[in-house]
A and B are shown apart, each in its own frame.
Chain A
Amino acid sequence: MTIRYFTIISLLFNIIVAVLPGYWWYYSVGNIIIVKDSLFYLNINLLGNNIEIIKVINMLLFAFRVYVIVISISLLISTIRGNKVSYLLISWASIFYILDPIIMYFAFNYLVSYFIPFHYNFFIIGKEIATFQYQYKITMLIESYPSIQYWFALFVGILNLVSKFIRNY
């Protein structure tokens, strides 16, 4: 019986990613709206206060963490027993999470701008100063960054994807 260390390690990393409490992407619109999100967590801060209603979404996401951890553990057990099974949820999620700034672009530009008149330029990583004329002239710093945890999740995702395609490790 071959011991598939590679798959075992990538499944263990899957569990770590699902347990980590932080966020993957950080967005700030002039620090007036701050959004921190990941596959398992969401936090929206408006004018210095966290939006309480988001707790309901976080409950669902916490239950989703449990789901991912349970599946990872069961696949880990069957891999140790000899049936190699890969779990690609973290892989696809972390790879497609690079598209998260696009979702944010649409959310800020079409949903939030309905309430606060501003224009959010399209960009993925970095910061820029946006100026627009409303009744007054408003200048704000717009930021969009992935966190270290996102790079870790992406690394784990790629590890899982590789473990799917190498047969005996």
Chain B
Amino acid sequence: MKAKTIAAILFISTLILELYFYHIGDILETGMRQINNINLSSPNMRLFVRGSTLIISINNTDNFPVIIYNITGKYNYLPQKEVIPPNSIENISAIVTNATYLVSNIRSNNYSICIELGIFNTNISIKQVI
């Protein structure tokens, strides 16, 4: 019984010391700010056709790297996977198998691509018509 009282007193005093030395106000403030700032935005993409290569400009606005495994369509594919560092814009060039069909399909807004990207251990595949 006596031991439990001593232990309880030490429990409370440890807690008070921690609250004092670790500046509980600061932790709560930064903690709440961090939670408010969490947002997961999908990377922005823009496409250019230059000669027989398709250039995909990807803007990664998140603060973690995004791996582009493949961007495939009927007339294009990626030669290798690309890593886009956090908060940066990268231009990826895809190999085009038939440039004339690709351009005409894109002009008529009728070209569908599948983007396979990875964040951490998660893979996301997005199908889009451009």
Given contacts A30-B121, A136-B124, contact A52 B31 (CB under 8 A): yes
Q: Cβ of A55 and Cβ of B27 under 8 Å apart?
A: yes
User: Would you call A64 an interface residue if the criterion is a C-beta within 8 Å of the partner chain's C-beta atoms?
Assistant: yes
Q: Cβ of A32 and Cβ of B119 under 8 Å apart?
A: yes
The bracket for how many chain B residues form the interface is 35 or more
Given contacts A48-B64, A48-B120, A136-B126, contact A67 B10 (CB under 8 A): yes
Q: How far is the CA of A136 from the CA of B3 in the complex (A)?
A: 58
Q: How far is the CA of A39 from the CA of B85 in the complex (A)?
A: 37
User: Would you call A139 an interface residue if the criterion is a C-beta within 8 Å of the partner chain's C-beta atoms?
Assistant: yes
Judged by DSSP, the binding face of B is helix
User: Would you call B123 an interface residue if the criterion is a C-beta within 8 Å of the partner chain's C-beta atoms?
Assistant: yes
A169 to chain B, nearest CB (A): 22
B64 to chain A, nearest CB (A): 5
Binds A, one of B13-21, B52-60, B75-83, B87-95: B13-21
User: Would you call B32 an interface residue if the criterion is a C-beta within 8 Å of the partner chain's C-beta atoms?
Assistant: yes
User: Would you call A121 an interface residue if the criterion is a C-beta within 8 Å of the partner chain's C-beta atoms?
Assistant: no
- Total contacts A-B at CB 8 Å: 97
| Tally of contact residues, A, Cβ under 8 A | 32
Q: How far is the CA of A55 from the CA of B31 in the complex (A)?
A: 9
Question: Can you give 30 contacting A-B residue pairs, CB < 8 Å?
Answer: A30-B122, A31-B121, A31-B122, A32-B122, A46-B38, A47-B38, A47-B64, A47-B120, A48-B64, A52-B27, A52-B30, A52-B31, A53-B28, A53-B32, A53-B34, A55-B31, A59-B24, A62-B14, A62-B18, A63-B12, A66-B7, A66-B11, A70-B3, A74-B2, A78-B3, A136-B126, A138-B123, A138-B125, A139-B124, A140-B122
Listed in ascending order, the chain B residues whose CB lies under 8 Å from chain A are 2-4, 6-8, 10-12, 14-15, 18-19, 22, 24, 27-28, 30-32, 34-35, 38, 40, 62-64, 119-127
Listed in ascending order, the chain A residues whose CB lies under 8 Å from chain B are 28, 30-32, 46-49, 51-53, 55-56, 59-60, 62-64, 66-68, 70-71, 74-75, 78, 136-141
